[in-house]
Chain A
Amino acid sequence: GQQVMQIPQYQHVQEGEDFTTYCNSSTTLSNIQWYKQRPGGHPVFLIQLVKSGEVKKQKRLTFQFGEAKKNSSLHITATQTTDVGTYFCAGPGGAGSYQLTFGKGTKLSVIP
Chain B
Amino acid sequence: DTAVSQTPKYLVTQMGNDKSIKCEQNLGHDTMYWYKQDSKKFLKIMFSYNNKELIINETVPNRFSPKSPDKAHLNLHINSLELGDSAVYFCASSPGRSSYEQYFGPGTRLTVT
If A42-B90, A99-B33 touch, whether A92 touches B43 (CB-CB below 8 Å) is: no
Question: How distant is the Cα of A19 from the Cα of B31 in the complex, in angstroms?
Answer: 34
Q: Is A78 at the interface (CB under 8 A from chain B)?
A: no
**Contact status A100-B41, CB under 8 Å:** no
Question: Interface SS of chain A: helix, strand, loop or mixed?
Answer: strand
User: Which single residue of chain B is at the shortest CB-CB distance from A47?
Assistant: B101
Q: Is A96 at the interface (CB under 8 A from chain B)?
A: yes
Interface residues on A, range: 20 to 34
User: How many residues of chain B are within 8 Å of chain A by beta carbon?
Assistant: 27
If A33-B101, A42-B105, A92-B100 touch, whether A100 touches B45 (CB-CB below 8 Å) is: yes
Q: Is B75 at the interface (CB under 8 A from chain A)?
A: no
Q: Which residues of B contact A95 (CB under 8 A)?
A: 48, 55-58
Chain A 6-44, CB-CB to B under 8 Å as 1, else 0, gives: 000000000000000000000000010100010001111
**Contact status B42-A48, CB under 8 Å:** no
Q: Which residues of B contact A101 (CB under 8 A)?
A: 45
- 15 A-B pairs with CB atoms under 8 Å apart are A33-B102, A42-B105, A44-B104, A94-B48, A94-B55, A96-B48, A97-B96, A98-B31, A98-B48, A98-B50, A98-B94, A98-B100, A99-B33, A101-B45, A102-B45
Q: Nearest 6 CB-CB pairs, A to B?
A: A96-B55, A96-B48, A42-B104, A102-B43, A45-B101, A43-B104
Known: A33-B102, A92-B100, A100-B102. 7 other contacts (CB 8 A): A42-B106, A43-B104, A48-B101, A94-B55, A98-B100, A104-B42, A105-B42
